[in-house]
Amino acid sequence: MKKKPPYRVLVIDDSAFIRQFLKEIINQTDELEVIATASDPLIAIEILKKTPVDVITLDVEMPNMDGLDFLRYLMKFRPLPVVMISSWTQDNSDIAVQALSLGAVDIVAKPTLGIRSGMEERKEEIIKKISMAAQAKVNRFPLPVEPVGASLLPPVHQGPTITTDKIIVIGASTGGTVALTEICRELHPNVPGILIVQHLPAMFTPSFSTSLNQIARIQVKEAADGDRITPGLALVVPGGNNLTVRKNGAKYIVKTGPRLPHSIYNPSINHTLHSVAKVAGVNAMGIILTGMGDDGAAGLKEMREKGAYTIAQDEKSSVIYGMPKKAWENEAASKQVPLSKIAQEIHRWAGIKN
């Protein structure tokens, strides 16, 4: 049987050490091979004109053109999977979220101290994310825009003054930030309360929540312990934490907790879905979006068994058809839906007419 050729990697970083380090660890694998490196995006553009490339690693701060400007150019003229590898901090985490919204498949944080030892510790994460990204489907991404007439939109729900007996839970991983942006942009202001479980490191979920709040007609915020689930409000589970839903009379309350020692995913989609299945039953809707792995399949299965309406994103519109595939094969999802139709499916289930 003929061996599959390795995925071709282009490394773009202004640090000679990072370029050499990435080249060495990538070339130690059988499935990846660095075919070129570039110290800035302008050099990378020239390489791309004459060299076939399957996946790119990209820094943000570089001479001549920064990483975000290059990403905009790339996604407009030659879309390719990109893993952002940069020195993210709490202060610039919004740049990482912006990179994901522009079409980057994933992000890796460079260490801010002890660069060599820190990069050594991240070797496995880097290889895993590049390998996964190389298999992703990437389309041309239009530049993010504000909703037309945003200032004239109905006011969002500002506080937990209304109770609801319906809950929507959306789980996502790789490619999920873009998918969630598209869904939230279309949601009606009176949609039932939503929980969003997106696999993201803790430093990025506040910025991601803010970015969703800016484009949506509903209110979006990072979940805090004790928050109520109410119409017109979406709560994003904090990175590195987990969220359990509890019933208090007619109200649904969220309980945030630490990492689960038995789970490789934190936040865990399964954990939240299992809790919703127990307290909401037929009054819940579960959605699994694009992502690698199987997180969410078991929890969605329990939701369906308790009478909830469950769907998964279809293969064609998924960046990575991993989690939705598992949910479908596991008979956890009753239906597969294209990304462009998911908001419409939510409205139909909730009885909302646009």
Question: Is residue 30 among the annotated active site residues?
Answer: no
Per the residue annotation, which of 101, 173, 207, 209 is the catalytic one?
A: 173
Nearest-angstrom CA–CA distance, 150 and 274: 36
Nearest-angstrom CA–CA distance, 114 and 177: 30
Per the residue annotation, which of 199, 209, 211, 294 is the catalytic one?
A: 199
Question: Is residue 199 among the annotated active site residues?
Answer: yes
Long-range contacts of 335-340 (CB under 8 A, 24+ apart): 335/310, 335/311, 336/311, 336/312, 337/311, 337/312, 337/313, 338/313, 338/314, 339/179, 339/182, 339/183, 339/289, 339/290, 339/313, 339/314, 340/182
Nearest-angstrom CA–CA distance, 196 and 122: 27
Per the residue annotation, which of 295, 314, 317, 318 is the catalytic one?
A: 295
Question: Is residue 295 among the annotated active site residues?
Answer: yes
Q: Which residues are catalytic?
A: 173, 199, 295
